Amino acid sequence: MPQCPVCDAPVDLQTTPTVPFCCDRCRLIDLGRWLDESYGLPERPQPGPGEGGDEDEG
């Protein structure tokens, strides 16, 4: 059985309306973490001027 990503409580996929969270409280905690930017996606470094990136140089 999967677990809630916030509190690790078991989540029944067939009867829980807040999947993947165990309850509305955990769902809102997770949303707050995204809005506070506690979570984030890694950013790929961009090539600077003259670095060429993926271009062929020859």
pLDDT digits (tens, 9 = 90+) for 6-28: 999 999 999 999 999 999 999 99
Tokens for 50, please give them: 């003259």
Residue 52, in any domain of the structure: no
Question: Tokens 């829980």 map to which residue?
Answer: 16
Q: Which domain holds residue 15?
A: 1-39
Q: Tell whether 44 is covered by a domain.
A: no
Residue with tokens 């769902």: 27
58 within domain boundaries? no
For residue 53 the two structure tokens come to 């990136």
Q: What's the structural domain count of the chain? A: 1
Task: Find out whether 48 and 42 touch, Cβ atoms under 8 Å.
Answer: no
Half-sphere exposure of 31 (CA within 13 A, CB side): 9
What CATH number did the domain enclosing 27 receive? 3.30.50.10
pTM: 0.66
Cα radius of gyration (the chain)? 20
For residue 51, being part of any structural domain is answered with no
Mean pLDDT, the chain, integer: 88
Distance (Å, whole) CA 32 – CA 16: 21
